[in-house]
Amino acid sequence: MTRWLVNVWLLGAKELRSVMKDVTLIVLIVFAFTIAIQLVASGVKAEVSNASVAIVDDDHSELSRRMRDAVRPPYFKSPVDIARGDVASAMDEGRYIFVIEIPPRFEADVLAGRRPIVQILVDATAMTQAGLGASYFQQIFATEVLDFMHAQGLLAQLPIKATSQTFFNPNSQSAWYTSVMQIVTNVTVLSIILVGAAVIREREHGTIEHLLVMPVRASEIAFAKILANGLVILVASIASLWFVVHGLLSVPLAGSLLLFVAAMMLYLFSVTSLGMWMATMAPSMPQFGLFAVPVYAIAYLLSGAATPLESMPVAVQTVARLLPTTQFVSLSQAVLYRGAGLQTVLGELLMICGWGALFVTLAVQRFRTMLARQG
């Protein structure tokens, strides 16, 4: 056993030196865990932000002015007056996402107990802004009308008042979510690529023959590649989480960073083992890339990082909850957002360990077979 550990250590050190000499790979890793995280966090928003608004105010009353003043940054830009005849062309040209049309005698109809209608035209090609923005306007205008009627003494105090309490992300900032999920996504894809490239690089450069004449076993070579490449991703991801996500983007980390690091180590072992198994079945790097893309895409789309599991069909949910990527996404959210402890995420950890044991067994068997063919 001691000899096995020493060989894994020496082969792992050789693998680390090989990775460090690959400038292109190092640049890719640095970019993925720094600039890419920043771009996704600042550029991909799930909330309404700086949406362009135009308004056609045919009432020019106190109530219509209050409704106009309630449309404020950072959700919306300040409303721009527009003539009714210019609305169609402005929407066609995409100058405004929302156009608000307030009818004549709007305030008078409200005071008279009638039900006037405020029309909101929406450019639905801006999907996130359009869907959420329309609901924002409903809440904003309903609040302003109720406040106006209270001020006029025309509405008694409502007997029931609903109060919403938003936990873990009270301001609903999408950067808090997308930045951490992007790290998880990058960990998954780079783990598969790095260890797969390491195996195929040995085969294409002919250095696999050097390993065959050395007094080492296939399991030692396989574990060295898995652990060395996993270590590179682990250091890069934790540094990104602390310095980029927590430091630069000011995302609070509620839970234990030590628990998250331990969970990521198990997840990296699982995913790098998967990458090695896939690499032993692909004869060249282009074919490995074609093989890796659908595997990663399916794992990502079903992980819950992009789409909540609850919105998927029941049959798909059943399959998705078994995947290691889904388990790690759930664990990451529980630990980093909700401050969950070991007892809460123990099920996810055991599931990830199970997948890791399966993948490393398959990878070592296939790697041993590949070396036998090479010999």
Nearest Cα neighbor of 84 from 62, 97, 102, 105 is: 102
* 197 and 334 assigned to the same domain: yes
Of the residues 151, 183, 218, the one at which a domain ends: 151
Please name the residue ranges forming H helices in 80-173. Answer: 87-92, 106-111, 127-151
Per-residue pLDDT tens, the chain, 375 aa: give them.
788 888 889 888 988 988 888 888 899 999 999 999 999 888 777 778 889 999 999 999 999 999 999 999 888 999 999 999 999 999 999 899 999 999 999 999 988 888 899 999 999 888 778 888 888 898 899 888 888 877 655 555 556 666 777 788 887 788 888 899 999 999 999 999 889 888 887 777 666 666 666 777 888 888 988 999 999 999 999 999 999 999 999 999 998 999 999 999 999 999 999 999 998 888 888 888 888 999 989 999 999 888 888 888 999 999 999 999 999 999 999 999 999 999 999 999 999 999 999 999 999 898 888 777 765
* 103 and 228 assigned to the same domain: no
In this predicted structure, what is the pLDDT of residue 211? 65
Determine, yes or no, domain membership for 159. no
* 142 and 273 assigned to the same domain: no
Q: What is the CATH number of the domain that holds 69?
A: 3.40.1710.10
Of the residues 151, 183, 201, the one at which a domain ends: 151
pLDDT digits (tens, 9 = 90+) for 84-99: 999 999 999 989 999 9
State how far the Cα of 217 lies from the Cα of 345, in Å rounded to an integer. 35
* 12 and 128 assigned to the same domain: no
* 100 and 65 assigned to the same domain: yes
Where do we find the tokens 């928003």? 45
* 40 and 59 assigned to the same domain: no
Nearest Cα neighbor of 265 from 235, 300, 295, 240 is: 235
In this predicted structure, what is the pLDDT of residue 352? 96
In this predicted structure, what is the pLDDT of residue 158? 56
> What is the four-CA torsion angle of 364, 366, 367, 373, rounded to 10 degrees?
150
- Angle separating helix axes 2-21 and 218-239, nearest 10 degrees: 50
Count of CB atoms situated within 10 Å of the CB of 286: 10
Determine, yes or no, domain membership for 165. no
pTM for the model? 0.82
Determine, yes or no, domain membership for 330. yes
Determine, yes or no, domain membership for 203. yes
In this predicted structure, what is the pLDDT of residue 3? 85
> What is the four-CA torsion angle of 199, 202, 203, 205, rounded to 10 degrees?
150
Helix (H, G, I), strand (E, B) or coil at 54: strand
Q: Both tokens of residue 352?
A: 């990830």
Determine, yes or no, domain membership for 298. yes
Report the largest interatomic distance among the alpha carbons of the chain, rounded to a whole angstrom. Answer: 94
State how far the Cα of 86 lies from the Cα of 35, in Å rounded to an integer. 41
CA angle 158, 163, 168 (to 5 degrees): 175
Of the residues 151, 182, 199, the one at which a domain ends: 151
Evaluated on CA atoms 357, 358, 359, 365, the torsion sign reads positive
Determine, yes or no, domain membership for 161. no
* 131 and 195 assigned to the same domain: no
Determine, yes or no, domain membership for 160. no
pLDDT digits (tens, 9 = 90+) for 144-158: 888 887 765 555 555
* 206 and 234 assigned to the same domain: yes
What's the total number of domains in the chain? 2
Phi, psi at 169, each rounded to 5°: -145, 70
Domain containing 68 equals: 53-151
Side chain identity, residue 353 = C
In this predicted structure, what is the pLDDT of residue 157? 56
* 84 and 34 assigned to the same domain: no
* 112 and 212 assigned to the same domain: no
In this predicted structure, what is the pLDDT of residue 89? 92
In this predicted structure, what is the pLDDT of residue 151? 63
Determine, yes or no, domain membership for 164. no
* 139 and 241 assigned to the same domain: no
* 63 and 212 assigned to the same domain: no
In this predicted structure, what is the pLDDT of residue 65? 92
Residue 163's Cβ-count burial label (10 Å; 0-12, 13-18, 19+) is exposed
In this predicted structure, what is the pLDDT of residue 152? 59
